[in-house]
């Protein structure tokens, strides 16, 4: 999911101290997935979550969020198509007046499911591609899916559902960026999101393998810009820069508890899909609380709202409105304190840790990795990482 | 009657909300909004009044007429056409020719 895109929301609502509604509802229907992406954004311990919300539970989430003022609804996973009540949920969301988005790898999107989803009122599909070249794609997703995605893209186009292609970019595929763009054009996508890997969860585990060098990045940006000019009226290309190469952090989730509400498969409500890693009290569950209580009154959602939780250097920083101190998870992972400045910021006393990672990424292939080989997202690795207490 | 305020906009054309946008009124925000994949544009009063009439049936002239009588004002042509230009540029709407001339 492109968390930057919501910035284009004209959400002046948050200028005041009043907390606005959760405009964006993300329903992570399941962590089950037929793929094994090395950059998977599900928690590394996903395998221990096996009590998924049932259909009624999700219907209640949809109704309560919509009543609070949510307008966008994303169905993601894992692979949301593995839920056979997906059509029921999309239909309800549509009936309630949500703009409905399906975030899928495409596995399981048959002709008949697509037409049922279309009937249910699906507004938009984000189809994720691991890469445009077959070999690399199969390698990175660990299953033979590339041909299938071609087929799926055609099914989506035939049903005239607007589609954005999403491709996670990293050291192993960034040099093929022109192939990826060409493919998006060939598949008739309206938009292509080239999302540089964000280092959480499985991507964090595999960070050394995945962070591109500065040269790679510059080349990719240059080529992207050339294509942007050449195909200006055909394809909109969104290039999400990797924050490790910046000196100011991103305004993560556009502010904690500001517009985003994520419900994870077991019904835990989160301000962002990686927030469960943070220390402190557990986040509230929709099984026990109403969405209204959760959004406005829970400790979890109020923990980093606004800026009164900030420490130095953020507290007295003249730029704090721009980024609200960056990402809480990144602060926790790298500075050991979720209320610290995001170490991407060069005012952070832990910025050198980001720099060390970036420096290492400039080494030639073969020398840039000193830890383990690539770890694929699967149940076995999940169990192992959980045993080792990896929290990402 | 068919003069247009702008050289580019033909007011006999029919306006409709373009894909992938969806227009709806939001009680929680007390305004019309345009929804699109992963985003939202909150519209001000006049923009909402114009866009909600871009229903794929009325042509621009009819929209102007309707607004002038609804708000009991004259000479809205320039404002409406000005906004239509912006909406076109942002690709919020499509303009098509009437299928049957009436
Ligand atoms: S990132 Fe890959 S493995 Fe993870 S949920 Fe998405 S498709 Fe499945
Ligand atoms: S010090 Fe904190 S608030 Fe200031 S720019 Fe850095 S992260 Fe943002």
Query: What count of other Cβ atoms lies within 10 Å of the Cβ of residue A392?
Result: 19
Bigger pLDDT: A361 vs A53: A53
The alpha carbon of B60 and the centre of ligand 1 are apart by a number of angstroms equal to: 47
Identify the residue among B30, B39, B43, B89 best suited for mutation to test binding to A, counting A beta carbons within 10 A and taking the highest. Answer: B39
The alpha-carbon gap from B26 to the nearest alpha carbon of chain A, in Å, equals 8
**pTM for the whole structure:** 0.87
Predicted confidence (pLDDT) per residue in B11-26, tens digit: 889 999 998 899 999 9
Predicted confidence (pLDDT) per residue in A44-86, tens digit: 888 888 899 999 999 999 999 999 999 999 999 999 999 999 9
Cβ separation A71–B36 shorter than 8 A: no
* Cβ-contact A109, A155 below 8 angstroms: yes
The alpha carbon of B92 and the centre of ligand 2 are apart by a number of angstroms equal to: 36
Contact status of A65 with chain B (Cβ, < 8 Å)? no
As a whole-number percent, the residues of chain A with pLDDT over 90 amount to: 53
Check pocket membership of A72 for ligand 1, CB cut-off 6 A.
Answer: no
- B26 contacts on A by Cβ (under 8 Å): 69, 71
**In the prediction, which pLDDT does A5 show?**
34
Question: Does the structure show a pLDDT above 60 at A3?
Answer: no
As a whole-number percent, the residues of chain A with pLDDT over 70 amount to: 91
Predicted confidence (pLDDT) per residue in B25-75, tens digit: 999 889 999 999 878 999 999 999 999 999 999 999 999 999 999 988 888
Query: What count of other Cβ atoms lies within 10 Å of the Cβ of residue A135?
Result: 9
**In the prediction, which pLDDT does B7 show?**
54
Question: Does the structure show a pLDDT above 60 at B91?
Answer: yes
pLDDT tier at A140, thresholds 50, 70, 90: low
Cβ separation A69–B28 shorter than 8 A: yes
- The CA distance from B7 to B1, in Å, is 15
**In the prediction, which pLDDT does A173 show?**
86
Cβ separation A10–B41 shorter than 8 A: yes
- Which of A1, A99, A190 is facing B22, going by the closest CB pair? A99
**In the prediction, which pLDDT does A4 show?**
33
Strand partners, A124: A101
B36: three-class secondary structure by DSSP: strand
The alpha carbon of A129 and the centre of ligand 1 are apart by a number of angstroms equal to: 10
Average pLDDT, chain B: 86
Instruction: Point out the ligand 1 atom lying closest to the alpha carbon of residue A39.
Output: 1
- The CA distance from B18 to B87, in Å, is 10
Check pocket membership of A77 for ligand 1, CB cut-off 6 A.
Answer: yes
User: What is the crossing angle of helices A146-158 and A111-120, to 10°?
Assistant: 40
- The CA distance from B53 to A19, in Å, is 32
The alpha carbon of B1 and the centre of ligand 1 are apart by a number of angstroms equal to: 58
Atom 2 in ligand 2: which residue has the minimum CA distance? Answer: A314
- Which of B20, B27, B33 is facing A124, going by the closest CB pair? B20
Q: Hey, CA dihedral for A58, A62, A64, A70, is it positive or negative?
A: positive
**In the prediction, which pLDDT does A147 show?**
75
Cβ separation A9–B40 shorter than 8 A: yes
Q: What is the DSSP letter of A8?
A: G
The alpha-carbon gap from A274 to the nearest alpha carbon of chain B, in Å, equals 19
Cβ separation B26–A71 shorter than 8 A: yes
- DSSP tally for chain A: helices H, then strands E: 15, 9
ipTM > 0.85 for the complex: no
- The CA distance from A99 to A71, in Å, is 6
φ, ψ of residue A238 in degrees (nearest 5): -105, 125
**Mean pLDDT, to the nearest integer, of A203-232?**
91
């Amino acid at each position: 999911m492109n968390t930057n895109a919501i910035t284009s929301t004209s959400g002046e609502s948050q200028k005041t101290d009043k907390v606005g509604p959760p405009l964006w509802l993300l329903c992570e229907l399941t962590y089950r997935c037929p793929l094994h992406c090395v950059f998977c954004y599900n928690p590394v311990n996903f395998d221990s979550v096996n009590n998924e919300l049932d259909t009624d539970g999700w219907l209640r989430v949809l109704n309560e969020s919509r009543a609070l003022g949510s307008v966008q609804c994303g169905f993601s996973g894992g692979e949301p198509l593995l839920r056979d009540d997906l059509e029921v949920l999309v239909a309800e969301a549509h009936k309630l007046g949500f703009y409905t988005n399906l975030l899928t790898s495409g596995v399981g999107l048959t002709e008949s499911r697509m037409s049922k989803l279309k009937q249910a009122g699906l507004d938009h599909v984000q189809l994720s591609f691991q890469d445009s070249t077959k070999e690399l794609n199969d390698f990175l997703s660990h299953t033979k899916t590339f041909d299938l995605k071609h087929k799926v893209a055609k099914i989506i186009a035939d049903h005239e559902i607007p589609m954005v292609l999403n491709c996670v970019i990293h050291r192993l595929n960034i040099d093929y960026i022109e192939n990826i763009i060409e493919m998006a054009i060939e598949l008739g996508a309206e938009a292509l999101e080239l999302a540089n890997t964000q280092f959480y969860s499985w991507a964090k585990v595999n960070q050394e393998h995945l962070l591109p060098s500065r040269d790679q990045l510059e080349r990719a940006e240059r080529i992207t810009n050339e294509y942007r000019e050449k195909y200006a009226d055909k394809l909109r290309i969104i290039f999400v820069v990797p924050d490790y190469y910046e000196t100011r952090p991103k305004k993560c989730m556009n502010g904690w508890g500001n517009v985003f509400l994520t419900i994870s498969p077991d019904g835990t409500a989160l301000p962002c899909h990686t927030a469960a890693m943070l220390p402190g009290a557990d986040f509230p569950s929709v099984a026990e609380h109403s969405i209204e209580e959760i959004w406005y009154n829970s400790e979890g959602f109020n923990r980093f709202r606004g800026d009164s939780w900030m420490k130095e250097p953020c507290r007295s920083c003249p730029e704090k409105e721009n980024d609200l101190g960056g990402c809480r998870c990144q602060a926790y992972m790298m500075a050991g304190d979720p209320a610290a400045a995001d170490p991407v910021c060069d005012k952070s006393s832990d910025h050198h840790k980001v720099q060390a990672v970036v420096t290492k990424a400039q080494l030639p292939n073969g020398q840039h990795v000193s830890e383990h080989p690539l770890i694929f997202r699967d149940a076995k690795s999940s169990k192992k990482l959980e045993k080792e207490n990896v929290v990402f | 009657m068919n003069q247009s305020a702008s050289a580019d906009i033909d007011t006999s054309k029919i306006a409709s909300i373009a894909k992938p946008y969806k227009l709806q009124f939001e009680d929680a925000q007390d305004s019309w909004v345009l929804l699109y994949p992963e985003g939202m544009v909150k519209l001000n009063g006049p923009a909402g009044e114009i866009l909600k009439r871009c229903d794929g049936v009325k042509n621009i002239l009819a929209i102007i007429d309707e607004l002038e009588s609804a708000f009991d004002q004259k000479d809205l042509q320039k404002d409406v056409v000005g906004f239509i230009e912006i909406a076109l540029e942002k690709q919020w709407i499509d303009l098509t020719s009437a299928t049957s001339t009436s």
